[in-house]
Structure formats: C-alpha cells, structure tokens
Amino acid sequence: MEFRHEIINFPKKLPIKFFLHRIGNVSRHWHQSLELIVTMKGQVDINVNNVPYQLGAGDLILINSNEVHELHSEDATMVALQIKLELLKEVVVDLKKMYFDCNTAKTNQPEMFRNIKRIVAQILQHNINASEFIDLKNASLVYELIYELCTHFSSEEQGGTRQPKEALDRLRRILDYVNSHYNEPLSLQEVAKQEFLSVPYLSKYFKKKLGLSFSEYLKDLRLHYAVNDLLNESLTIDKIAAKNGFPNVRSFVTAFGEKYGELPSIWRKKHAEEVSGSIETTKEKSVNYYQDEPHSYHEEISLFIENNLGEPLVAAPPQTYLQQLSTICQVDVNKPTVELKHHFKNFIGVSRVKEVLFADVQEALRTAQQEIGFRYIKMHGLLDDDLMVYGEDSEGKAIYNFRLIDKAFDFLLSVGLKPLVQFSFMPGKLASDLSKTVFYANMNTSPPKDMDKWNRLIETLTRHLIGRYGIREVRSWMFCVWNEPSSSNLLFGFKQDETFFSLYKNTYDTVKSIDPLLAFGGPAAFSTYNKSEDWLFSFLSFSRDHACLPDFITVHYYDIDLVPQNNHISMDKQLNLSPVTDSFRQFIDRLQKRLLEESLSDLPVYMTEWNSTVSHKDLMSDTCFKSSYVIKNITENYDRLDSFGYWLLTDMHEENRLPQQLFHGGLGLFTYNNIKKPAYHAFCFLNRLGDELVDRGEGYFITRQGRNYQILLHNYHHYDDIYANGISISISHKERYSHFPNKTKRELRLELAPLAGNYEIKHSIVNRSYGSAYDNALNLGQAADWSASDVDYLRQISIPRIEKELCFTSGILTIHTVLEPFEIRLIEISEIYEGETIHV
C-alpha cells in the first residue's frame, strides 16, 4: 500500500514539488523529474534500476530522470522533492544530460551531504511558517539545491542506466496496459500483440527493463491489490482471487504464500485490527473509525530541522493581518420574517447509557439543561452487560434487571430530557459471536443468536418502561434499534444487510404490537462528505416493502472525506477531513433531494450525531475553530432537518481509553472534568436567538423576539488541504491554529432600519482571548496534572467577554464590529422603555 501525501504545491513558475510520505509499498515507476528522497524516520528499502539500497533515518538518495525505482517499508517517514527539469529553461547547463550520484548508502562520508540536508531543512522551515514572500525564498532554495548537485554530485553515466525516451514510452504503454487489465485473464501474447512485438522479444525486453519476468510482475501486481481486499472482511478468499485476476483460489493461495509466508486467511486474522471499527462508504470501501488524530509530522520535522540547521522548529510569530474581509449590509426590519423552531436543541448525545450514572456527566447535563435546554438525548449501550439488563439461568430461561436503566432514565427526566430508546448492543447471553466487540468498553455488536429471546427482551423492557413512566410519557419518547448498521462488520454492521433488516423488522413489530402510537424510527445511517446515501435508501425500500416504514429517519453526519484515490479508498489508518467549506449543506441538499425523489420527504429526519470528525484526538476540537464551525453550519442550515444532535456532550466517555491530557482534542462540549469549551458557548449563543428570522448572510444571522433583536456573527476559517488530508506538519499541543494559512479579521457593518428609540446593545464575545479554555490553559502554562483549584480557576475565567453600550437612534441603528479569526459574537439589542432602570 502507498500512503503519499502531497504537502506543498509550489506555484507553476517554480520547478519543484515537495511531498511528505508515509511509506508502505510503492511499485516500480519512473518520471522525467529528478527526485530527492530524504528519510526522516524508519527504514526504507529502495530499488533503483535493479540495484537495491537501504536507507535509514537521515539518509538520502537522488533518483535521476527516467530511472525505474520502487520503495518498500513497514512504516517510514520521508521528504521527497521532485524537480521538473523542463521548467529550468534559464539554466545554462543542460541538466537533462547530467547524471547525479547522490546517495548516502554508497559512501561513508556523511559530511558530503551536509549542504543538501541544510537546504531541505530550510525548505521545510520556511514553508511551515510561510510568509507572503515565500515564493521568492523557495525559488532561491531550488536553485541553491541544483547548484549543490551540479558542483559536488555530477557524475559520468555508468552502464547505460539512462533510458532513451522511445524505450520509456514503450515501457510506459506496456505497463499502463497491464495495470489496466491485471484483473483479467492477461497473457504475454496479448500484450505483445498490442505492441506489435514477438513474444520472445517482449519477454526479454520486460526482464531487461524491470529486472523481473512478465509473469512475476503480473503476479506481484495482483497480490498488491489482493492484500488491500483481504482487509475487507465482507469479501471471501475466492472472491478476492477472482476479483484480482487469479485463475483460481489455489493459484492465489500459492502466490500469497510464496510472498508472505502464510495463508491469506491467517494473514487476514493477524491484520484485522488495521481496520477494526471501519465505517464503510459501501461494503467494499472503508475508512478507519478509530483514527486518533491526523498524522503529525511536527516532532519529526522539528528534529530534522534542529539537526541540520542547529535551531528548533518554532511556532509561527503572531500574525499581522494584511487585509480584512468587510461586509456592509442594510437590513429591513419590517420585511416578513420566518418562524424558527430551533431544531438544533432537539438532541444532544452522551456516549453510553452507563455514563449517565457518572457524577461528572450528570453535572454536565444539569448545566447544559439549565443554560441551553435540549429536548432529547441519544445514547448507546442500553442493553450492554455493564447495565446487567439480561441474563439466563442454568436452564437458559431469561433473567431481566432494569434497575440501572431506571436510574439513568429517572435522572434524565429530572433534568427535562427525553430518551431516544436505542435497543443496543447485544447482551453476552444473547450474542451470536462473543468475540465481535468494539471500543475500549468491548460493546458486543453481533446479531442475536435467538431472535425469539431478543423479541421477548424488547417486549419486556418496553412494557416495563410504560408501567414505570406511564403510556402518555413514553409515547413522547422515540424508539429505534442498533447504531450505524451501514458500517462494517468490524464495527456495528453485520456481514449481510439482511441480518440487520430482520433485526429491525422484528424489533419494530414487537414495539408496535405493544402500542402502535410509540414512535419507532431509524436506522442511524452513517454519512460523510461526498458519500452517497445508497445504503439508507436500500433500507427504506426494504421497510416500505415489508410494512415497517420508520416513523422518523435518523442519520449521522461527519465532515470526513472518503473521496477514493486511484479508484479505491486506502485502508491505512488515516482519517481525512472534508476539504470543502460547505459540505454540511451539500449533505443536507443531497439527502433531501433523494427523499423527495422517493416520496419520503414527509418523514421527519433527525440528525442524532454530527461533528467535523469522528476522531477523539483532533487537537482542533478544543479550539475556537470548533465554535465557529458550529455557528457557521447551524445558522447556514437552520431548521432544515428536525434535529442537529451534536456528538458529544462531554469528553468523559468510554469509547477509547481516556487520555491523561486535559485538552486532548476530544469531541465533547465539556472537558472530562466539565470545563466549558468554545463549542459549548456556541450553543449558548444559539439558545439566545429569537423566534423570528429577520435576515441572514455570510457571517451573520439576525433574529427578533418581540421588539428586541439578536445578531449572531462568526468569522469562520477552513483548515488547509494539508490538514484535510490527515497530516499536521506544524500542529502540536501548544500550537493548534497553524493550518489556517489565510486567517483574516472580518469587519461587519449592519444597518438596521427603520428603528427609533433608546436601546441597550450587549456584546457577548468568544475568541482566543475570551471564552477559550484551551487558550487560557496555554497562557497559564499547560500542566501535566491540573489541581482542583486550577480546574476551578480555569472554569471561572473561560467565559465569554461581555460589553454593553447605550444608544439612541431615530431611523437607522448601525452595528459596526471587527471579529478576530474564529471569533463568534452575539449582539443583543434590547429596547429601553421610559423609566426603565438600566444595569451596565
């Protein structure tokens, strides 16, 4: 597998591209450009024109133009610079005719390469913290690198290693054809016919150019793709063999054993953890759900720069904004308004029912309900064994115990929350596969081994809830079964969709048989940026055909990117984020269009989970980026769905082992010890909006409540493509805003008319200086362990800034403000009546 990430695309006028790689296997290839490879970490086996070399940390090699090369490594990080020779037209020396012998593996004189490494370190340093004049610096470094190569590493060609263009064109055509037809019954005779060559000549030609026979190359190519498919448990061994061009299973097993030394089935079991918990775009394409955070090169780059420049990589200096965006808008307050339902408050999420019993989680829920007031709560694990819901006696008869469920539901109702009763996951005594568990809490996600016993459990629990809380109350709740059944069998899904369809219908029928007025929905289908909702609509088609159409639809949306590369999605442990700023809106557009086409647009749609990522260790989640992200996406899509259930309320959850670090990039609105993050303040601001929408535009959202007005502003910036691709070259626990290259202030001038009278104007502000617990902790000096008094102090100071002013207007009320990058600001305009006392 190849994991290549392009980091810097220098402008077209500059003859260089700069990459960072995490290497698996890169098959044989060549290009016209020079390529300088510097290994930063790990070990790389590289073959150049059939000559093998081994590079360790700090080694480098120069690949000359048109040299065939391949790379192999278990886990290495390297820098690669590709120099496009045809763009160096102004250089007097004809570089295309030159050969460079620059390879640390061939010499014991490391000092020879000191300047080369210094130049690479400078390129890294200057492009991480780039200024507006970076192009000039890059140009100078490119030419300095070429000068160094020409002066100290030019060499006479030996052994005819350079191949003429005609030969390369022929080889390229041959390999392109083989690569396009490898999964078909391909023969050397067929390829020879394509090139009008004799079979013996082509056989010798292939061996000479690539160092291995045609059959060996074809077998390796097929194995390369087959290994990826082995990581997908939904594909059987025979299907993998047929899919990748092997004539039969035996030939595949034999070839695999020769290369990897074991059976494909054994290899699959050993490497299953690589995709454990994957969420699939289809049943054959997946992305890893357990991704901790974007792969960070910060430490490796910093060490390389320090070793070769004698100075460490430092954070970018405080940015001076050379420009700021300006918006001027005239707002007619007398035009017709739109009624707002505030659907963003319909759901909040806690990871597991068990966690509702934790004191810290209860404290967070009380606070959120007092200050925001959500209506429903989504939780997993209602039937998990740690709630002791289901057991069996020695004769296999069911034993039920709902005491801990009662305690959790009692508390939720006491703070004004109604449950989405999600029947999940599988009690051990009912599980068909005790080994099918996920997450740190080992929740069992296998289907029931006895559907009748499952139905009796659902019936008994539902009747218990009605008996305890009353039919009128329970009819106001929502019911569903399972979580993200569209995901892989390695996570929540099953090997066959029909297994979930049967589980859904049985559960639906059981609940409806008790009381048809109980609202039963689903299927908690997982969606992402640029992913089709085909699975969801196949489920809806089944439910319509089998008289179990849900009363409401539940979906999950995460702003992660599953765009396939080279017609497939890499099965590495990387999680990409959406590079598109309005992907949230695009998903809703796509979903509503499909529902309309299927005549299902009347069904309520509850988004019960959403966030920018599924990662519990994305360092941006603690920052003001997330608060501006929340405001942007909710105000731009206000009330378009029936809920926007933010996932999660708190970092105190048991999906992963809880990190020791306080600000570790968790998904919660609170830290695990209930310090409010900027995203929490975003929901508080939303909660203070009025019930009528007056106007909206880029960066602003204006509402009215009676004769008072509320203006919600945000200055959102999207991360760069580097971070979107799952790479962080400069982000660290102390620097989390480095992947926003074009941060600017935003000036807004809003003229509200006609308005006349006296008004109090109150500004509530959250930015890096006010209301950001992470930034406050950084200013205090991040400690390894925060004391109780430290935490309490951080809670007290991490609140929005309040500013008030009084004004009189006789026609136009002008609001003029400048927002810092990532700032959110709520401006509340309250009319002052004669004789009213004003508190400032």
Distances (CA, A) of 177 to 1, 68, 314, 398: 21, 17, 48, 62
Q: Residue 610: CB partners within 8 Å, gap ≥ 6? A: 556, 557, 558, 584, 644, 645, 646, 647
SS3 501: helix
Write the single-letter amino acid at 618. D
Please list, in sequence order, all residues whose beta carbon lies within 8 angstroms of the beta carbon of residue 457, skipping any fewer than 6 positions away.
383, 389, 390, 398, 400, 427, 430
Pairing of strands 3-9, 285-288: unpaired
Give one DSSP letter per residue of 472-495, joined into a string: HHHTTSEEEE-S-TTS-TTTT--S
Q: Report phi then psi at 224, rounded to 5.
A: -55, -45
20: which strand partners? 5, 79
Q: What Rg do the C-alpha atoms of the chain give, in angstroms? A: 31
Helix, strand, coil fractions of the chain, as percent rounded to 5: 35, 25, 40
Nearest by Cα to 294 from 634, 738, 669, 790: 738
Evaluate whether 380 touches 352 at the Cβ level (below 8 Å).
yes
Q: What is the number of helices (H) and of strands (E) in the chain? A: 22, 36
Angle ∠(631,635,636) on CA atoms, nearest 5: 115
Q: Which residues pair with 80 in a beta bridge?
A: 19, 37
484 is catalytic: yes
Q: How far apart are CA 723 and CA 577, in angstroms?
A: 8
Strand residues in 247-374 grouped as ranges (E)? 278-282, 285-288, 295-296, 324-332, 338-339, 347-352
Residue 387 in contact with residue 381, Cβ under 8 Å? yes
Question: DSSP class of residue 732?
Answer: -
How many other CB atoms sit within 10 Å of the CB of residue 247?
10
Query: Can you give the length of the chain in residues?
Result: 840
Q: Where are the alpha helices (DSSP H) in 705-814?
A: 721-724, 773-780, 788-797
Helix (H, G, I), strand (E, B) or coil at 10: coil
Give the separation between CA 14 and CA 146, rounded to whole angstroms: 13
**d(C-alpha 358, C-alpha 381), whole Å:** 15
| Strand, helix or coil for residue 290 | coil
| Residue 17: CB atoms within 10 Å | 17
Chain position carrying tokens 């950084």: 778
Residue pair 680/777 in contact (Cβ under 8 Å)? The answer is: no
Instruction: Tell whether omega for the bond before 425 is within 30 degrees of 0, i.e. cis.
Output: yes
3-state secondary structure of 741: coil
- Both tokens of residue 601? 């647009």
| Eight-state DSSP code of residue 581 | T
Annotated catalytic residue within 484, 609, 823, 828: 484
What six digits make up the tokens of 700?
């602003």
Q: What is the 3-state secondary structure (H, E, C) of 504-570?
A: HHHHHHHHHHHCCCCEECEEEEEEEECCCCHHHHHHHHHHHHCCCCCCCEEEEEEEEECCCECCECC
Catalytic residues: 484
